[in-house]
Structure 1
Amino acid sequence: MHDPRIDQLADVLLDHSCQLQKGEKVLIEAIDLPEPNLICSLVEGAAARGAIPLVTIKNQQVQRSLYSSATEAAMEMSSKFEAARMAEMDAYVGIRGSANSSQHADVPQSKMDMYQKLWWQPVHSALRVAKTKWVVLRYPTDSFAQAAKMSTRAFEDFFFKVCTADYAAMAEAQKPLVARMEAADQVRIVAPGTELEFSIKDIPVVPCNGDRNIPDGEVFTAPVRDSINGTIKFNTESRYQGTVFSDICFEFKDGKIVNATANETEKINAILDSDEGARYCGEWSLGTNNHVKHPMLDTLFDEKIGGSFHLTPGEAYEIANNGNRSRIHWDLVLIQRPDYGGGEIYFDGELLRKDGRFVPDDLQGLNVGL
């Protein structure tokens, strides 16, 4: 039996996220989906709107073989053809499923660096992110439910509820936070193992409410590149390039990560040594989706957790640009609700958020459901 929630989700992706118009070309890229229902709904929905849908289907096990065996010439060839297609697109919908989220864990770091430089950056950073109306989401697979420590049925109910949230109401509630971030200079963050300060002065602020990620719910900017000083200890695990990292701790001096430790200290430092910009941060963001309360080893969900923030070693987005360039962009999450140790955030000495809840009267709308 066809689940009508899939059609509802397809409508959100095409109308709210991509704002797809007649005559526009949309690339639907699906990775490791267990069944094609959402792809079919998107194709039929795009055609019904007078748009032109294109589809590519990938498999992570095949991608692992491509990455592991690739030469520079092979990476450049794949990039050349994918870039030529992406350059023709007006919109992009990326749907990520996974039977094994650690599929790339044993791909050599040198190969992943090559992929980021020769394939990902030219196709996705330079074209998809910068030039198209794009949206990326996960798909509710059994392995995803397992990572969330939920049954498949319960996770599907959670997934569709979160992904089809009232993004118009979210956008309205975010407006006063955007104004406060735009006016702020110095940010101070305190949490167990964390004492961090930096500036966000004159860096653009971007509210996210269903346009580019599903689920959504964050307001981001970037630290002034050389301004971060102090120490941060993240309390949320992160899967990056197929490896699960935990107990991540960074020490910053004048914006640069000068010391990094984790359960995989050697590997995390190898990633941070990918290029000069990898040890500087390109994004700082406050999570505002209070439907998402606990991490599930998936960045698209974890970075939106109500009462959290994330700090991102690597590439800055052009829309909130602090000038940092890198092959990596790694969102790392710290949850500040009492059940995760609490904490405070200050803007220019004023307490903005305590134990995950916003304090000023004009921000109380962001506490609903927390």
Structure 2
Amino acid sequence: MTDYTRYAHLLVNYCVSLQPGERLFVASTTLAEPLVTEVYREAIKAGGHCEFALGMRGQAAALRDHGSAAQFGYVPTLYAKAINEFEAYINITAPFDLRQPSPAAELKAARREAMQSLHNTYFARTADRRLKRSMCIFPTEALAAEAGMSLQEYTDFVFRACKLDQDDPRAAWLGVRKRQQAVVDHLNSCTTFRYTNDRSDISFTTKGRTWINSDGQTNMPSGEVYTSPEEHSVEGTIYFDYPAIRNGQEVRGVTLEVKDGEIQTWRAESGQAILDETFAIDGTRRFGEAAIGTNYDIDRFSKHILFDEKIGGTVHMAVGQSYAQAGGKNVSAVHWDMIANMRAGGRVYADGEVIYADGRFVERLWPS
């Protein structure tokens, strides 16, 4: 098998488990043609149907420079049909450039408003897996440069994080599923949680909510356990020491102060304007997710949230949209993950008991 054949086999047969007669929609760019070709081949071998949309170099810039509000508000026909009706969806991030200027605020607002209904459908259909989805990466020069690596180094990093360097990646992810399930079972027996480190002390409750075992079937790579906290329960202060990236813009040193579930104050060491803009959007001042990263093969920060939120030894919380499959009720056009390091003195408490210390679950939950 070539690397991309192995990758495609994992995406089609494990991540979305495509069955005969099911329809798969693939969204990416022309840079990802080697992987898209193999995904198409695997979909046909599985007895499914595969359609795709590939963005071109310069496409986003043309829309930004010449598009009207009506054009920003246009909902792509095939994408809409796929989100509403198809059984499977794979989104392969493969950017040409990560440093394009941002569209005008009114144009971004037009896009958010137009896509909100489809956004809600996406979350509803992925929650109960009527739409099986996988988000993944095709290594490109832009992503490698953002991560501070050569393209070959970045490709190796991606394949290692996805366990594609192992003889049987599917078996490796089934092993992740089994190990994380023991953690999830315990978390779901508790209802009060607290994250602490030298700059954070934040708590939340999960009554009526579910912790979920993220085992590679909805994101590739994965390696996390997550929930949606009770929206009015979050209390305290949390500092995110990893940079938070939103629409290609970087915010550093974010501190959020929370009372009765609502973010009361927000500060950034740099990028304050981005925080201010985000917290003006409906639903962003409550949390949609609380999670713990468990993928210790992701050994460095890459400035891509698909990888960074999974870093073993970290926790993250997301402002905005909740996960319906976890029982969350917060609604927003935004779901923005922010990451805190827990390796040096970090603790997670469940019902008052330390279950995680210095970046690791305790031995009885995560045997060495």
Please state whether the residue corresponding to 2:143 is helix, strand or coil. Answer: helix
Alignment partner of 2:353 out of 332, 350, 353 = 350
Question: Superposed, which structure 2 residues align to 1:262-301 within 5 Å?
Answer: 262=268, 263-275=270-282, 277-301=283-307
In the TM superposition, what is the alpha-carbon distance from 1:322 to its structure 2 partner? 2.5
8 Å CA contact 2:321–2:330 kept in 1: the answer is yes
Identity of aligned residues (%): 26
Alignment partner of 2:18 out of 13, 17, 20 = 20
One-letter amino acid of the structure 2 residue matched with residue 361 of structure 1: R
Deviation by residue 1:306-337 (Cα, 9 ceiling, x = unmatched): 01111010000110123111110001111211
In the TM superposition, what is the alpha-carbon distance from 1:272 to its structure 2 partner? 1.2
One-letter amino acid of the structure 2 residue matched with residue 344 of structure 1: R
One-letter amino acid of the structure 2 residue matched with residue 113 of structure 1: A
Question: Superposed, which structure 2 residues align to 1:243-254 within 5 Å?
Answer: 243-254=249-260
In the TM superposition, what is the alpha-carbon distance from 1:188 to its structure 2 partner? 1.4
- CA separation in 1, counterparts of 2:336 and 2:78? 26
In the TM superposition, what is the alpha-carbon distance from 1:360 to its structure 2 partner? 4.3
One-letter amino acid of the structure 2 residue matched with residue 54 of structure 1: E
Please state whether the residue corresponding to 2:7 is helix, strand or coil. Answer: helix
In structure 1, the partner of 2:158 is 159
Distance 1:150 1:247, change over 3 A: same
In the TM superposition, what is the alpha-carbon distance from 1:48 to its structure 2 partner? 1.7
Alignment partner of 1:312 out of 306, 318, 337 = 318
One-letter amino acid of the structure 1 residue matched with residue 277 of structure 2: A
One-letter amino acid of the structure 2 residue matched with residue 38 of structure 1: L
Distance 1:110 1:250, change over 3 A: farther
Deviation by residue 1:270-313 (Cα, 9 ceiling, x = unmatched): 111111x1100011111111101221110000010001111010
Deviation by residue 1:174-211 (Cα, 9 ceiling, x = unmatched): 11211121111221111132111111222112111111
Please state whether the residue corresponding to 1:211 is helix, strand or coil. Answer: coil
8 Å CA contact 2:16–2:217 kept in 1: the answer is yes
Alignment partner of 1:118 out of 93, 114, 135 = 114
- CA separation in 2, counterparts of 1:301 and 1:257? 26
Question: Superposed, which structure 2 residues align to 1:2-41 within 5 Å?
Answer: 4-31=2-29, 33-41=30-38
In the TM superposition, what is the alpha-carbon distance from 1:255 to its structure 2 partner? 0.7
Please state whether the residue corresponding to 1:214 is helix, strand or coil. Answer: coil
Please state whether the residue corresponding to 1:135 is helix, strand or coil. Answer: strand
In the TM superposition, what is the alpha-carbon distance from 1:79 to its structure 2 partner? 4.7
- CA separation in 2, counterparts of 1:303 and 1:287? 6
Please state whether the residue corresponding to 1:244 is helix, strand or coil. Answer: strand
- CA separation in 2, counterparts of 1:76 and 1:237? 30
Q: Give unmatched runs, 5+ long, in structure 2.
A: none
Q: How large is the Cα RMSD of the aligned pairs?
A: 2.0
Deviation by residue 1:318-367 (Cα, 9 ceiling, x = unmatched): 101231111100011112113xxx411111111111110112413225xx
The farther-off stretch of 137-146 and 22-31 is 137-146
- CA separation in 2, counterparts of 1:43 and 1:316? 32
In the TM superposition, what is the alpha-carbon distance from 1:80 to its structure 2 partner? 5.5
- CA separation in 2, counterparts of 1:9 and 1:157? 13
The farther-off stretch of 13-22 and 237-246 is 237-246
In the TM superposition, what is the alpha-carbon distance from 1:61 to its structure 2 partner? 4.0
Question: Superposed, which structure 2 residues align to 1:1-370 within 5 Å?
Answer: 4-31=2-29, 33-59=30-56, 61-66=58-63, 70-79=67-76, 82-103=79-100, 105-119=101-115, 121-127=116-122, 129-130=126-127, 131-163=130-162, 164=164, 165=169, 166-262=172-268, 263-275=270-282, 277-338=283-344, 342-364=345-367
- CA separation in 1, counterparts of 2:248 and 2:69? 21
In the TM superposition, what is the alpha-carbon distance from 1:67 to its structure 2 partner? 5.1
Please state whether the residue corresponding to 1:269 is helix, strand or coil. Answer: helix
8 Å CA contact 1:233–1:249 kept in 2: the answer is yes
Distance 1:179 1:214, change over 3 A: same
Please state whether the residue corresponding to 1:77 is helix, strand or coil. Answer: coil
8 Å CA contact 1:199–1:227 kept in 2: the answer is yes
One-letter amino acid of the structure 2 residue matched with residue 348 of structure 1: D
Q: Give unmatched runs, 5+ long, in structure 1.
A: 366-370
Please state whether the residue corresponding to 1:330 is helix, strand or coil. Answer: strand
Deviation by residue 1:55-76 (Cα, 9 ceiling, x = unmatched): 1101474234435655453344
The farther-off stretch of 15-24 and 56-65 is 56-65
- CA separation in 2, counterparts of 1:214 and 1:353? 24
8 Å CA contact 1:182–1:202 kept in 2: the answer is no
8 Å CA contact 2:12–2:18 kept in 1: the answer is yes
One-letter amino acid of the structure 2 residue matched with residue 278 of structure 1: T
One-letter amino acid of the structure 1 residue matched with residue 367 of structure 2: Q
In structure 2, the partner of 1:368 is none
In the TM superposition, what is the alpha-carbon distance from 1:124 to its structure 2 partner? 4.3
8 Å CA contact 1:281–1:316 kept in 2: the answer is yes
Q: TM-score, normalised by structure 1?
A: 0.90
